[in-house]
Structure 1
Amino acid sequence: MGVLTLPLKAIYFDQIKSGEKLEEYRLVTPHWEKRLENRSYESIILTSGYPKKGDTSRRIKSPWRGVRRTFIQHEHFGPDPVEVFAIKVNESDVEPLSDAEQVKLFNLLLALKEPVTFRCEYRNWRGEVSDRCLTPQEVWYGSTEWHPEAGLMLKAIDHDKGQVRDFCIADFNLRTLRPAKATQP
């Protein structure tokens, strides 16, 4: 079965060692697809940088707990959401929500509160970025003609276009998210 060894920055190594960090992330690339998809390991070794052979203080060995694909937004990967492999490195009493459970939770939150109109940069299917004024109506999982890969989608009133439209959540630049007043096109 083999052992997967992952060198880490000291900050992430320390977070895993303390139990604070439950998953280690690697961008979805051909390199990591080959090593992680449909693979199982006997154990995983996490290192703080590249320690000398006898330096056990900078190594953690634990059983292989699996991996999943997901989208995250993290300063290490830049401002936009990216698809990553989330490698389970610590135990947790709480399992991550499935896409279907996330949709239910988002819709429950929308139902409990008045819809909040917001402005945010959005990259459309052609790669064009514009600042959009939206009022959310529903979160759903699936694909559209413009977004053929399934993912989390937001149905919202697009005040700039005067229409209800579907937006791929991964294509929002969440760093530009801010409250707004509904406007007429």
Structure 2
Amino acid sequence: MNEIPEPTETGSAGTQQPGIETAVSAAQESPLDGLPIARAVEGLAATRSRSMGGEVAANLIAGSFSQLSYDLQETKQELRSTRQELERTREELSDYKTKAAVLEERVSTSFKGRHLRNLSITVGTFIIYLGIELYRNNIDKYPYILGGLGALLVLLGWFSKEGGPDK
């Protein structure tokens, strides 16, 4: 029962090569690489802990300094993202201010345009009336011209645009 049988098929062709003897390791970077003062304090705490008040005090100072340096980096990152958000919001505000100015201009021209359209409809109606009266009095040439001009003014008043291109 202690004997383990040999398998007939191992699933390999026997052409495997041994792996690399040396292990490859990735260099782990400290989050404080960009802060030379933090590295200096960590180095002093590791090599000359007695000059910093002993091993416990050196570790406490180095840890506190590392935490403060990390907090500084986090705050700088938050500041960068806040500035980007502020810039995006400024651009958005500028777009809305432009849109508000365009709409304000359209509203002011809308009132002016409305008066012109109403005047065009009124004058066109009056000219059509004159054309009809001239036709009743058997004047041949002018009634058709006045009727066409009056109809053109009425249509212009009805179908003219109120504002800008997106209206």
Structure number with larger C-alpha Rg: 2
Q: TM-score range by the shorter chain?
A: under 0.3
TM-score by length of 2: 0.15
Higher relative contact order (CA 8 A, sep 6+): 1
TM-score by length of 1: 0.14
Could you say which structure has the higher helix fraction? 2
